[in-house]
Amino acid sequence: MMILGTAFGMVFYLLQVVSGESGYAQNGDFDDAELDDYPFSCYSQLEVDGSQHLLTCTFDDTDVNSTNLEFEICGALLDVKCLTFNKMQEMYFIRTKKFLLIGDSEICVKLKGKKITCRKMNVVKIVKPEAPFDIRVIYREGANDFLVTFNTSHLQKKYVKELLHEVAYRQEKHENDWMHVNLSSTKLALLQRKLQPDAMYEIKVRSIPNHDYFEGFWSEWSPSFHFRTPEITELNLLCGPVSRIIRRLWNNFARNQKR
């Protein structure tokens, strides 16, 4: 296969040199196209539409004239050998239930039915999760913290269930000063003393497969949630520690009573 490919490449190169043309010149339409150089990227989203999976590919170079270019995936499919992508503007996509989810596929760019560049890809290793949503922050006065919760459609999925989430938050007036926290659950407590009092904060979250079987890329960020931290009043400052001390004393007292 290797040898054949190399031989073909050499013959082709000779043809090019002899004819003095660059690129694909069979009918003059593609004089400027560089045949072996259509880098592209793909990602999969499993069970996005009920049990249907989505596979999306785009050319890395957004200036590629893709008018006559097609994408095809072969191998590791159920029932069929190959599937052709649909095209929407500069995106190529397949919505299907036919991914085997085991083993490599070959994804190829085709020009007039001829494969011109191919890459081996495993659909389960290029997973881009759906963005989490519904991120909220509730202030818990007694605990002196903020409870952050969010939701993800992956809780309801059969395949990509294990995700790592990255929560990012910043004080709104410090635009580029994002703080980050990684977690695998959808709940997080932020300590009040780690945040500025009486300040506006922005918070958002994104997800990536957590390397169990599925691997891949970060999701888009969730929509942001905005919240204001409470002012620190003297009452807060005093009552926090004081009420803790009283509680501790009371607990000790109650325990002693039981003995």
Residues in contact with ligand NAG by CB under 6 A are 29, 65, 67-68, 151, 153, 166, 180, 182
Distance between start and end Cα atoms, the chain: 83
CB closer to ligand NAG out of 180 and 194: 180
Neighbours of 119 (CB within 10 A): 15
Least Å distance, CB 153 to ligand NAG, is: 5
Least Å distance, CB 166 to ligand NAG, is: 6
CB closer to ligand NAG out of 52 and 153: 153
List the strands of the sheet with 145-151, edge to edge: 133-140, 145-151, 187-191
Q: What is the distance between the alpha carbons of residues 232 and 255, in angstroms, rounded to a whole number?
A: 33
Least Å distance, CB 180 to ligand NAG, is: 4
CB closer to ligand NAG out of 151 and 224: 151
Least Å distance, CB 216 to ligand NAG, is: 12
CB closer to ligand NAG out of 104 and 212: 212
CB closer to ligand NAG out of 16 and 151: 151
Length of the chain counted residue by residue: 259
Least Å distance, CB 30 to ligand NAG, is: 7
